[in-house]
């Protein structure tokens, strides 16, 4: 998810009262290992599942590898980075470029 | 200090982006799995309790490393086009990673043998998918002689 997110970032994730929207960064369970949580950007939502991609497609492991993520495994939306101090800020939905 | 500890997140999520060096070889996993196999052999042949305890600790570490290397191959090397061409690779990697966990918690030589065979099957796909040419730095002719 670089350059948006970097290793060691402290992120606030809020629960989603509604379905995820394209462009949002969401916290999902890895379909291959439900114990592993991942932050990815929503590329599409259809038929009860969500296609997620990394911001650097050439180096990301995402729905192209593990397929769409069922909506119950989308746990929340990344809204705010509160650390490190120099990178504090909102994680607003970015226009998704395909 | 206290505040930092208080605010530090308790849950870790992977964004799974890396800057891969591009070198992937199932041999890395195999060497760790071979370590597990040999350690189990040595464990069974030993009567030294201290040695046996150390053997268990080291085997668990090597099994975890084997799992890591399989995971890296699966998530970073094998791409959708590989999966399309060799659909068995997903299950091979998944089962091999699970087998690593079995070997981690077991002193059964058969489980370690099974893991080696699984890694060899992954290596077959890796070779068919052009892994040796695509990912390894070839040795200089002089170094091979």
- Each residue's pLDDT, cut to its tens digit, for chain B (145 residues) gives 677 778 888 888 877 544 456 788 999 999 999 999 999 999 999 999 999 999 999 999 999 999 999 998 988 788 777 888 999 999 999 999 999 999 999 999 999 999 999 999 999 999 999 888 888 888 777 666 5
- The residue extents of the domains of chain B are 26-128
Q: What residues of A are in the B interface, CB distance below 8 Å? A: 1-2, 5-7, 10-11, 13, 27, 30, 32, 36-40, 54-56, 59-62, 64-65, 82-83
Q: Indicate the pTM of the whole model.
A: 0.56
Cα B92 to the chain's mean position, in Å?
12
Closest by Cα among B92, B99, B143, B100 to B121: B92
Q: Find the CB nearest B75 among A2, A10, A65.
A: A65
Residue A1 lies in a domain: no
Interface predicted TM-score (ipTM): 0.76
Residue A41 lies in a domain: yes
Number of folded domains in chain A? 1
d(CA B133, CA B25): 11
Q: Do B17 and A60 touch (CB under 8 A)?
A: yes
Q: Do B13 and A40 touch (CB under 8 A)?
A: no
Residue A48 lies in a domain: yes
CATH classification at residue A27 = 2.10.109.10
Residue A96 lies in a domain: no
> If you search the block for the tokens 């969500």, which residue do you land on?
A50
Q: Do B17 and A10 touch (CB under 8 A)?
A: no
Specify whether the CB–CB gap between B16 and A61 falls below 8 A: yes
Find the domain containing A75 and state its range: 10-90
Residue A4 lies in a domain: no
The fold of the B26-128 domain, in CATH, is: 1.20.120
Give me the helix-helix angle, B49-72 and B88-104, nearest 10°: 160
Residue A59 lies in a domain: yes
- Copy the structure tokens of residue B134: 């695509």
Residues recorded for chain A: 98
């Amino acid at each position: 998810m670089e350059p948006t997110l970097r290793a060691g970032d402290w992120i606030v994730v809020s629960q989603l009262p509604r379905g995820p929207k394209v462009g949002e960064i969401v916290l999902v369970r890895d379909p291959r290992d439900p114990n592993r949580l991942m932050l990815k950007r929503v590329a599409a939502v259809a038929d009860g599942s969500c296609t997620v991609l990394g911001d650097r497609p050439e180096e990301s492991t995402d729905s192209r590898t593990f397929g769409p993520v069922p909506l119950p495994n989308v746990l929340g939306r990344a809204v705010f980075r509160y650390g490190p101090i120099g990178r504090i800020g909102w994680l607003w939905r970015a226009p998704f470029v395909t | 200090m206290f505040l930092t500890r208080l605010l530090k997140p308790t849950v870790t999520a992977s964004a799974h982006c890396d800057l891969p060096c591009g070198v992937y070889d199932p041999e890395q996993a195999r060497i760790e799995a071979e370590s597990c196999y040999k350690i189990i052999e040595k464990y069974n042949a030993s009567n030294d309790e201290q040695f046996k305890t150390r053997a268990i600790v080291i085997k668990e570490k090597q099994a975890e490393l084997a799992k890591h290397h399989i995971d890296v191959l699966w998530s970073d090397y094998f791409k959708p086009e590989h999966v399309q061409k060799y659909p068995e690779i997903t299950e091979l990697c998944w089962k091999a990673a699970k087998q690593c966990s079995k070997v981690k918690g077991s002193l059964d030589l058969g489980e370690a043998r099974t893991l080696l065979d699984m890694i060899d099957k992954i290596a077959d796909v890796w070779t068919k998918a052009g892994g040796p040419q695509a990912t390894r730095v070839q040795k200089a002719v002089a170094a091979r002689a």
